[in-house]
Structure 1
Amino acid sequence: MEVMKTLIRTAVTAAALAVVTAACTSSPEGPTGKGKPVSLPQIRLVAYSSCDDLLGGLRERALQNVTAYGFGGVMPIAYMEDSAVAAKGRSQAAPEHSTTNVHEAGVDEPDLVKTDGNRIFVVSDGTLRIIDTATKKITASLKLTEGDGPSAPADLLISGDRALVLMRGGDIMYKARSFAPPADTRYVLVDLAGTPKVLSTIKPQGSYVDARMIGSTVRIVTRSQPDIEFPQPTGDFNEAAQVKANQAVVRKAPAEAWLPKVEITDAAGKVRQDAVKCERVSHPADYTGTSLLTVHTLDLAQGVTDSGTDPISLAADGDIVYGTGQSLYVASNPRWWMPTPVVDTPVAPADDPTPGEPAVTPTAPPEETEIHRLDVTAPGAPKYVASGKVQGRLLNQYSLSEHDGHLRAATTLTSSDGKTSSSTVHVLKADTMAKTGEVGGLGAGERIYSVRFIGAVGYVVTFKQVDPLYTLDLRDPAAPKVTGELKITGYSAYLHPGNEGRLIGIGQEASEKGRTLGTQVSLFDVSDPAAPRRLSQLFQKDSGSGAEWDPHAFLYWPKTGLSVIPLSSQKESGALVLKIDDAGVSKVGMIEHPKVKQEGDEFTFQPGIDRSMVIGDAIWTLSHEGVQVNDAATLASQAWIPFR
C-alpha cells in the first residue's frame, strides 16, 4: 500500500513539471491525446424475454456469421465448520510465506501451485499432490485423470480445506462440426481434510477461459459455441455452396443448440444435467451468435448446492479476464482467428431454399475490443452491468485496471495492412462503460509489450527497436496525459511495483536494431513522473524467462528484496535468484533441479523451473519433475521431493 500511495503522490507533482514535459505535449495528435476521444458505440446488454426471442436473435446473427468452415475455431486460452477451524489454526501457526503473484490484492487467480505455509498443493499431469512443509514430504496425492500419459494443463484455487482444480481438457482431435478441438473441460472440487477426495465434478459445455476467487467464492468463465453439426464437404469444394449448406443447418437448429449445458457429478456418482435458462442469457446490441460466455459461480466452503453453479450467459466472445473486489471484466480481442463475412456475388445450389441470398467471403475484421463488466459485490451469480468497445487490441489482463469508478484499457491499434501502429490508454466509466477520455499516440510503429496501472499512475512499454517507458497521469479521467518517457534498448514484458518510487521490469535486452539478446531485469526510478530513469540492469545473455509472459512465475519478497524468476538458456535451466533494493539489482545465484535421465535414453536434461515460493527461511521451487527446497540466505539445497 505504501508503494501505491507514493506513486500516486508522485503523479500529483506532474502539473508542476508541465514545462519539463512540454516537448511531449505539443501536438494534439501526439502522446498527450489532447484531441477528442474516438467514440465507439456503447454496447447495451439486453436479456432475452423468452426462448423464442433467444432463438430468433441467435439464429439471425449466426446466419450472418457462419462460413464454409462452420463457426471458426475456439482458440486455446493461453494456456486467467470443523475444517475451517482447523484451517484457521494452521494459518495462525503457519510460517511466513509468499502467495501467488496476482493483479489485484484480495482477488486470487488460478495457478498450478498454491500454499498456505503449512502445505503446498500442486497439480501436475492430472494428479493433485499435497506436500507437508515441515517434513518436506508428499503426504497425499489424488489422481484426477485416467491413464499414465501426460495430461492437459490444470490450475488450482484453494480455500481452507477445499481445492478447486480447473482442468482445461486434453482432446486435440477435431470433429466435423468445427475446426476447434472439443473441450474436455472439468472443474473438480476436492476435500483436503484428511485423505483428499472428490466432492463434485463439474463438466461445462465449452472451454475454460479463466477464473477469479474473492473469499471462498469462485467465478469461472467458460466459452462455448453452438452445438451444431455441419455437413462434411463432398466432391469438389465450393465455398459459397458450403456456406449455403451450413446456413440451412443453422436455420433448423433449436434454442437448445445455443444454451450452454453443464453436467454435475457428486461424490456418490449421481449425475445431474443443467442448462442455462433462456431468461438468464443476455446480449449486447452487436453480437455474432456464434459464441457464448458463461459464468459459473461456486462457493468452495458450501460446495455445489441445489442451484448448481448458478450459471448466467452472455451472447459474446471473450479471452481475457480481469477481476477486482467489485467487478469481473471479460474482454474479447478482435477475432483474428475467425473470418468476418462480407457480401459477395450470390451463388447458390439449385436445391437451395433461398437462392440468390448473398454468399460470404472472409475479410480482415476491424481491430476493436469488446469489454463486458459484471458486478460481483453480492454473493452468488454476478450481474451484468454494461459493455463497451475500444479501438485496438489488449495485450493481457494487465492492460485493464479499475480505479475510482473508471476502467483504464491500454490497446495497440494496427492498420489493416500492418504497416502502421500506435497505442492508446482509454478511460471508461465503470457503470456505463462509456468513453470518458483517452491518451493516444504512444509508440508509433510499435506495439505494447507491458502495462501496469498503480492507482492514478500508469506505465506503458512499447517496443520495436527501442523501449519507450511512458509514465501517465490518470488523475483526471477526462484528460489523461503522458508525463514522462524513457527510451532504452530492449523492453520490459512485465512490470512490478517495487519499493517506494521504484518499478521492476522483466524482459529482454535488444540491439539498437531490435534483435533480442537475452533476459534483462531492470530497476526504474519513477519517483519523478516527468523523468523516469533506469537505476540498474542485470543482463543474462542468450536466455529467456517464463516471467516475461506469465506473471505467476515472478516472485518478489519485499521484506528482504529477494526476487526469483525462471531462467533458461543453452547452458543452464533453473531459477535465477536476485536481490533488488532501492539502489539496484544484483545476482545472488542459480537454483537448479537434479538432472533427469529418461527411461531408455542415455541423455539427461535439466528440468525447467516454473514457480518459486518463500516459506519461512527457505525458497521452494517447482518443476515438472518435483519440488526442491533451498536455504534463502545461502541457496544451499535442503531437500528434493520428486513426483516420480
Structure 2
Amino acid sequence: MKTLTRPVLVAAALATALAACTPAPQDDRPVTPPRQSLGAIRLVAYNGCDDLLAGLRAKAAENVGPWGFGGPQIMYMEDATAARAKTAETPDHSTTNTHEAGVDEPDLVKTDGDRVYTVSGGTLRIIDTATRKVTASLDLPGKDERGYAPADLLVSGERALILFQGGGGPAMKRGFAPPGETRYVLVDLAGQPKVLGTIKPEGTHVDARMVGSTVRFVTRSQPDITFPQTRDQLPEAERTRINQQVVRRAPLEAWLPKIEITDASGTVRKESVPCERVSHPAGYSGTSLLTLHSLDLSQGLTAAGSSPIGLAADGDIVYGTGQSLYVASNPHWWFPIQPAVVEESAPTPSGQESAVAPATEPAPVEPMPTATPTPSGPPPEETEVHRFDVSKPGAPAYVASGKVPGRLLNQYSLSEHDGHLRVATTVTSADGDTSVSGVHVLAADTLAEVGQVGGLGKGERIYSVRFIGPVGYVVTFRQVDPLYTLDLRDPAKPAVTGELKITGYSAYLHPSGDGKLIGIGQEASDKGRTLGTQVSLFDVRDPAAPRRLSQLFQKDSGSEAEWDPHAFLYWPKTGTAVIPLSSYGEGVQRSGAMVLKITDSEVSKVGMIEHPADRNSAYPPGIQRSMMIGDSIWTFSYAGAQVNDAATLDRQAWIPLGS
C-alpha cells in the first residue's frame, strides 16, 4: 500500500483554527496536567563478563519467586518493500500498509508488482502477476516440524527474509502460537529460489523493520535456568529462597542467548552477544534480555553474522523510522498474591515525584494518575522506551531511554516528529476501576519529557491513535467514542483542540488526504455493547470541530483490520478500500473481504469478495490480506489467492496455495 504523505491542509487548517478558537466552557474538557518527572533510565554498558554476570545474578535473584521467573501473578499478554529494477510494464500496485514511509514491516504477503510472494505450510511460493500462476516454490528449512505455521516476509530486490515466529510476539496477536523455533531464513529469489542461510536465535520473535535492504529484528529471551521441583507443601517463602540460591549460582551462558547461523553450504556456527555489547538501564529485573540483530539482505550472511547487541530489559512493541528504532516495554499485567518473605528484602519501588503545577499554569489541575505500589499491591504502571540509531550500516547504536506512566496500545501509540517522540498511554488505577489517557512528548535525543496533555477519556481506554505531522488523533471508548484532536506544534505545550462524541469506536485510523481520516471499528449501543463493523469518514480540517461525514455499518460482523493494520487496503487512486469481514448474525457465518468506495464525503459498499470453500468446510476461508495490482484486487486466504476485477468484482483467477 502506498502510504500517503501527511495532509498539508491539516497543518494549515490547524493554524487557522487555533487562531480563531476560544476555550470551551464544559467542565469535562481535558486539561493539561502538571509535568511529571519519572527519572532517567540511562542505559549503562557492562565493564566485562564478570560485571555482566554479577549484575544479572543480583537483579534476577531480587525478582525470582516461588514459581521461578513470573508465575501466576504475571502474564504476558512507497514505504514499500524495496523492489528490484522496474520496467515500464510493471503494473501499478499497492504494498504493505505500514506506519512510516520508507520503513517496511513484515507481513504475510509481499509484491513488487511483477511477482507476489507468500509462505504457507513451510513453503515459499512465487506468483507471476501477468500469468496469475505459481511459477516457483521452495520448501523452507524446518518445514517438516513446523507444519502449518505461518510466516511473515520482507523482500528487497532479489532477496527475501522469511520470519518464522517461535511462539509469542506478533503470532500471539493472531490468536495462537505456532509450533517450532524462532527462525529467519534468507532466500535468493532470482530464477529458482534457493536458501542462502538461516539464523536461529534462542528466544521469541518480537518484531522487525527494514530500511533499504537492511533488516533490524528483535528477539526476547529469559534466562535458561532450571529450578528444582520443590514440593508444593513448602511455604512460598522457602521456595523463593531456594530459587534465589539457584539464580546466584547460574553461569553467564544462562542469560546470553545463543545464535545458530547456517550458511548455504550447511556449515553451522554458533555465537552469542559479546559481554561488552550488552547494556542495561539503571533499573532492571535481570529476568529478560532483548537482542537486536542487523542483516543487510544484499550482503547476505557475512562473518559478522547478524551483528547482535543486547539489552537487559523487556520489550513487546517495536516502532521504527528511517533513523531510529524504538523498543518499548509495556508493564506486565499484575494479579495480586500474598507477598512472600524473600532471602533479601527487595527495595521498595519508588513512586513518582510529587507533581507541582508550574507557576504559569492554572491551578489546581489533575495529573495523570499512576499506580502506587504497596507491599502487596501493583508496581507502578510505567512503560519503558529505548531508542537506537539505525541510520548507519551494521549494529544499531544506543541513544537514550525514557519512561512514561501507563500502557501503550500498539506501535501507533508512538510517533517521532521534528526531534521529538510522542507517546500515547492509558493509566489504570490500582483497583482497575478508573482510567485516563494522555500524550507525552519526549525529546528524541534524551527521551526526557518536555510536555504532556492528559485527562483524555476519563473512565475509558485508548482504542486507536494516529499522529500526522504536528497533529494527533486519539480515540477512547467505554460507551461512546470521543475522537480527540491534538495540537502538537509546541512540544512543551501539547493541547486538545477538539472532541467528537459518537457511539462505538474506531480501532484503526488511516489518513485519506485533504484533512480526512478513515476509521475502522465497531458501532455500539448507548450502553457500550458492540453491534458490528463500522467504517467512518471524518473531516478533521478544522481541529476545533472534527465531524463525521459518513458511516457505513455492517451488523453482527468484525474485521481483522481493527487490530491488524496490515489487513487494511486503501488505494487513493480510485478511492477503493478493502477490509476482511466475518459476519456471524442469525446463525449464519460468512467470511470474505468487503470492498468500499471512499469519496470526499461518503463511504459506500461496492460488494463482497469470497473465496471458494474447500471440500473440508462448508464455509469460505477467511480472507486475511488484499492488494491492488493494475486494475485488479488480489485477496489472500490460507487456501489460495483470488483475483477480481476492481470495477465489477468479477472473478478473474483462483490460485490454490494449499500444501
TM-score, structure 1 as length reference: 0.91
CA pair 206-305 structure 1, distance change in 2 beyond 3 A: same
> Structure 1 stretch 513-522 or stretch 134-143: which is displaced more?
134-143
1:75-121 CA-to-partner distances (Å, cap 9, x unmatched) read 9988xxxxx9xx64445531000000000000000001000001000
> Structure 1 stretch 2-11 or stretch 549-558: which is displaced more?
2-11
CA contact (8 A) 1:344 1:359 kept: no
1:290 paired with 2:321, answer no
1:241-320 equivalences under 5 Å are 241-320=238-317
1:196-595 equivalences under 5 Å are 196-234=193-231, 236-336=233-333, 344-345=340-341, 363-570=377-584, 571=588, 572-595=590-613
State how far apart, in whole Å, the 2-side matches of 1:332 and 1:499 are.
Answer: 33
User: How far 1:234 sits from its partner (Å)?
Assistant: 2.6
Could you say which residue in structure 1 is the equivalent of 2:190? 193
CA contact (8 A) 2:162 2:185 kept: yes
CA contact (8 A) 1:182 1:206 kept: no
Could you say which residue in structure 2 is the equivalent of 1:177? none
State how far apart, in whole Å, the 2-side matches of 1:634 and 1:3 are.
Answer: 31
> Structure 1 stretch 252-261 or stretch 115-124: which is displaced more?
252-261
What SS class does the counterpart of residue 377 from structure 1 fall into?
Answer: coil
Could you say which residue in structure 2 is the equivalent of 1:109? 105
User: How far 1:13 sits from its partner (Å)?
Assistant: 2.2
State how far apart, in whole Å, the 1-side matches of 2:546 and 2:253 are.
Answer: 56
State how far apart, in whole Å, the 2-side matches of 1:464 and 1:102 are.
Answer: 28
CA contact (8 A) 2:377 2:430 kept: no
1:401-442 CA-to-partner distances (Å, cap 9, x unmatched) read 000000000000000101110001000000000000000000
CA contact (8 A) 2:422 2:441 kept: yes
What SS class does the counterpart of residue 244 from structure 2 fall into?
Answer: helix
User: How far 1:520 sits from its partner (Å)?
Assistant: 0.2
User: How far 1:190 sits from its partner (Å)?
Assistant: 0.6
What SS class does the counterpart of residue 579 from structure 2 fall into?
Answer: strand
State how far apart, in whole Å, the 1-side matches of 2:157 and 2:593 are.
Answer: 29
1:110-148 CA-to-partner distances (Å, cap 9, x unmatched) read 001000001000112222111111111111111223338
Could you say which residue in structure 2 is the equivalent of 1:38? 36
User: How far 1:366 sits from its partner (Å)?
Assistant: 1.9
User: How far 1:642 sits from its partner (Å)?
Assistant: 0.7
CA pair 181-575 structure 1, distance change in 2 beyond 3 A: closer
Letter in 1 for 2:235: N
CA contact (8 A) 2:462 2:474 kept: yes
CA pair 70-41 structure 1, distance change in 2 beyond 3 A: same
Could you say which residue in structure 2 is the equivalent of 1:22? 24
CA contact (8 A) 1:65 1:341 kept: no
Could you say which residue in structure 1 is the equivalent of 2:368? none
CA pair 531-357 structure 1, distance change in 2 beyond 3 A: closer
User: How far 1:340 sits from its partner (Å)?
Assistant: 9.4
Letter in 2 for 1:386: A
CA pair 534-420 structure 1, distance change in 2 beyond 3 A: same
What SS class does the counterpart of residue 412 from structure 2 fall into?
Answer: helix
Could you say which residue in structure 1 is the equivalent of 2:636? 622
CA contact (8 A) 1:171 1:184 kept: no
Equivalences, count: 612
Could you say which residue in structure 1 is the equivalent of 2:126? 130
What SS class does the counterpart of residue 142 from structure 1 fall into?
Answer: strand
Letter in 2 for 1:53: D
State how far apart, in whole Å, the 2-side matches of 1:103 and 1:166 are.
Answer: 19
User: How far 1:219 sits from its partner (Å)?
Assistant: 0.2
Could you say which residue in structure 1 is the equivalent of 2:50? 52
Identify the match of residue 614 of structure 2 among 596, 600, 610.
Answer: 596
State how far apart, in whole Å, the 2-side matches of 1:133 and 1:76 are.
Answer: 44
CA contact (8 A) 1:171 1:182 kept: no
1:369-407 CA-to-partner distances (Å, cap 9, x unmatched) read 000000111111110111111000000000000000000
Structure 1: state its 5+ residue gaps: 79-83, 173-179, 347-353
Could you say which residue in structure 2 is the equivalent of 1:10? 13
CA contact (8 A) 2:149 2:178 kept: no
1:15-34 CA-to-partner distances (Å, cap 9, x unmatched) read 21331x4336x78xx5131x
State how far apart, in whole Å, the 1-side matches of 2:240 and 2:623 are.
Answer: 48
CA contact (8 A) 1:473 1:480 kept: yes
What SS class does the counterpart of residue 7 from structure 2 fall into?
Answer: helix
Identify the match of residue 100 of structure 1 among 96, 103, 115.
Answer: 96
CA pair 73-635 structure 1, distance change in 2 beyond 3 A: farther
Letter in 2 for 1:199: L
CA contact (8 A) 2:279 2:310 kept: yes
CA contact (8 A) 1:466 1:512 kept: yes
Letter in 2 for 1:574: G
User: How far 1:342 sits from its partner (Å)?
Assistant: 9.5
State how far apart, in whole Å, the 2-side matches of 1:15 and 1:525 are.
Answer: 16
TM-score, structure 2 as length reference: 0.89
CA pair 340-94 structure 1, distance change in 2 beyond 3 A: farther
CA contact (8 A) 2:84 2:112 kept: no
CA pair 42-13 structure 1, distance change in 2 beyond 3 A: farther
What SS class does the counterpart of residue 216 from structure 2 fall into?
Answer: strand
State how far apart, in whole Å, the 2-side matches of 1:550 and 1:2 are.
Answer: 21
CA pair 324-230 structure 1, distance change in 2 beyond 3 A: same
State how far apart, in whole Å, the 1-side matches of 2:160 and 2:146 are.
Answer: 23
State how far apart, in whole Å, the 1-side matches of 2:423 and 2:338 are.
Answer: 29
1:21-60 CA-to-partner distances (Å, cap 9, x unmatched) read 4336x78xx5131x32121112101110111111111111
CA pair 277-340 structure 1, distance change in 2 beyond 3 A: farther
1:64 paired with 2:62, answer yes
CA contact (8 A) 2:237 2:341 kept: no
Letter in 2 for 1:50: G
User: How far 1:458 sits from its partner (Å)?
Assistant: 0.2
State how far apart, in whole Å, the 1-side matches of 2:338 and 2:104 are.
Answer: 42
Give the fraction of aligned pairs with identical amino acids, expressed as a percent.
Answer: 68
CA contact (8 A) 2:150 2:178 kept: no
CA pair 567-334 structure 1, distance change in 2 beyond 3 A: same
State how far apart, in whole Å, the 1-side matches of 2:628 and 2:345 are.
Answer: 64
CA contact (8 A) 1:565 1:575 kept: yes
CA pair 183-292 structure 1, distance change in 2 beyond 3 A: farther
Identify the match of residue 163 of structure 2 among 166, 176, 185.
Answer: 166
State how far apart, in whole Å, the 1-side matches of 2:84 and 2:159 are.
Answer: 13
State how far apart, in whole Å, the 2-side matches of 1:114 and 1:364 are.
Answer: 43
State how far apart, in whole Å, the 1-side matches of 2:401 and 2:88 are.
Answer: 42
What SS class does the counterpart of residue 411 from structure 1 fall into?
Answer: strand
State how far apart, in whole Å, the 2-side matches of 1:107 and 1:466 are.
Answer: 34
User: How far 1:307 sits from its partner (Å)?
Assistant: 0.7
1:486-536 CA-to-partner distances (Å, cap 9, x unmatched) read 000000000000120110000000000000000000000101000000000
Letter in 2 for 1:15: L
CA contact (8 A) 2:145 2:180 kept: no
Letter in 1 for 2:31: T
CA contact (8 A) 1:280 1:312 kept: yes
State how far apart, in whole Å, the 2-side matches of 1:618 and 1:148 are.
Answer: 36
> Structure 1 stretch 361-370 or stretch 41-50: which is displaced more?
361-370
Structure 2: state its 5+ residue gaps: 170-176, 349-374
Identify the match of residue 649 of structure 2 among 623, 627, 635.
Answer: 635
User: How far 1:187 sits from its partner (Å)?
Assistant: 0.5
What SS class does the counterpart of residue 535 from structure 2 fall into?
Answer: strand
CA contact (8 A) 2:166 2:178 kept: no
State how far apart, in whole Å, the 2-side matches of 1:358 and 1:553 are.
Answer: 45
